[in-house]
Amino acid sequence: MNLLTTLAGSMMEGFLPSGWDLAKIDACCAHPAESVTERQAFWNDRFEPIPCKTVEDFDVMMGHEIAKKIRDARTEGRDLAMILPVGPMGMYRWAVYFLKEWGVSADHVHGFNMDEWSDASGNTLPANDPGAFTNAMEAAFYGPLGSASVPKEHRWFATSDRLPEYADRIADLKNGGAELVVIFGIGRVCHIAFWEPHFACEYSDVETWKAQTHRIGARLHPLTIEQNALTSFKSRTTLVPAFANTIGPGLFLQADHIIGGCDGILGRGMQWQGMSLWMTLRYGPDPWIPSSFMPTLPGRLFFLQELAGPLEPEMN
């Protein structure tokens, strides 16, 4: 007895994205934990999942990867475009540490925040709101870098007036020799940024879906809202906006290099991200599972070993 056998007539019927193959998802999650890094046919030859034993290891390793890409671009004398998330966050402290330790300025970096909370019309939270991604980035990354930080004119946030300019600005940078690095987390419903799985039903084919660069006032899935209530809003669901401005696959699939992170453990054996990790690594590219396209790109996905499971019941 499980969800698949009891779904009919329940309140879960129609709740999960309609394009999800629940039996296939369950099969993805049933693999032995030690097999999580086994290469799959659809992975890019230069894609590598990196297990991390502890949250502390995860933060340092992912932060080092970010700082290294910034240092490499500076050494090579070129600009660097970076699409940046708010979640995960712990790696920014270590990226700052390494850059300061190495004496590397980030003035050649152009930072594009991938999303921001909004209303249905795309109006965003004030930049200084404690829940705003703009505020989080200034506090965690831009501010601590001090005089070696990304110049203010290179900091792009997903407001309704700036987000539509991302595609042209990133194209200009890439045409000028810049590399695009996409840093990301994976949502409970396998979104990248706030590009939700249910958007897939709006497009006639995969190529059209892939071409979408952004969305203003994107309607979020309830699981996305509840995930953020638990991880960022101290369980207070009433504070979480139901919409967001977000980049789309037309931008995140342009990455020359990806740096992903899954750190979704809650302690005492509890977690929220194991299923999302396995779906990303094993489902195969599908617009209903946006994160499933990330292994087709070169780069690294850092994840906490605990998320690999085994994903079996453990009463808490």
pLDDT value for 103:
98
CA nearest 154: which of 175, 137, 130? Answer: 137
Provide the token pair at 35. Answer: 């097999």
Q: Which string of DSSP letters, residue by residue, matches the chain?
A: --HHHH-TTSTTTTTS-TT--HHHHHHHHTS-GGGTT---TTS-TTEEEEEESSHHHHHHHHHHHHHHHHHHHHHTT--EEEEE-SSS-THHHHHHHHHHHHT---TTEEEEE-EEEE-TT-PBPPTTSTT-HHHHHIIIIITTTGGGSPPGGGEE---TTTGGGHHHHHHHHHHTT-EEEEEEE--TT--BTTB-GGGGGG-SSHHHHHT--EEEEEEPPHHHHHHHHHHTSTT-GGGS-SEEEEE-HHHHTT-SEEEEEE--EEETTEESSHHHHHHHHHS-SBTTBGGGGGGGSSEEEEEEGGGG--------
Residue type at position 313: P
Rounded to a whole number of angstroms, the CA Rg of the chain reads: 19
Contact of 37 with 278, CB cutoff 8 Å: no
pLDDT, tens only, 247-278: 999 999 999 999 999 999 999 999 999 999 99
pLDDT value for 1:
96
pLDDT value for 31:
98
The single residue listed with the structure tokens 């810049």 is 178
Q: How many residues does the chain have?
A: 316
Within the chain, which residues score under 50 in pLDDT? Answer: none
pLDDT value for 110:
98
Distance (Å, rounded) from C-alpha 173 to C-alpha 165?
12
Measured in Å, how far apart are the chain's first and last C-alpha atoms?
Answer: 20
pLDDT value for 130:
96
Neighbouring residues of 69: CB distance < 8 A, sequence distance ≥ 6: 80, 82, 179, 181, 257, 259
Burial of 121 (0-12, 13-18, 19+ CB in 10 A): exposed
pTM over 0.75: yes
Find the farthest-apart pair of alpha carbons in the chain and give their distance in angstroms, rounded. Answer: 61
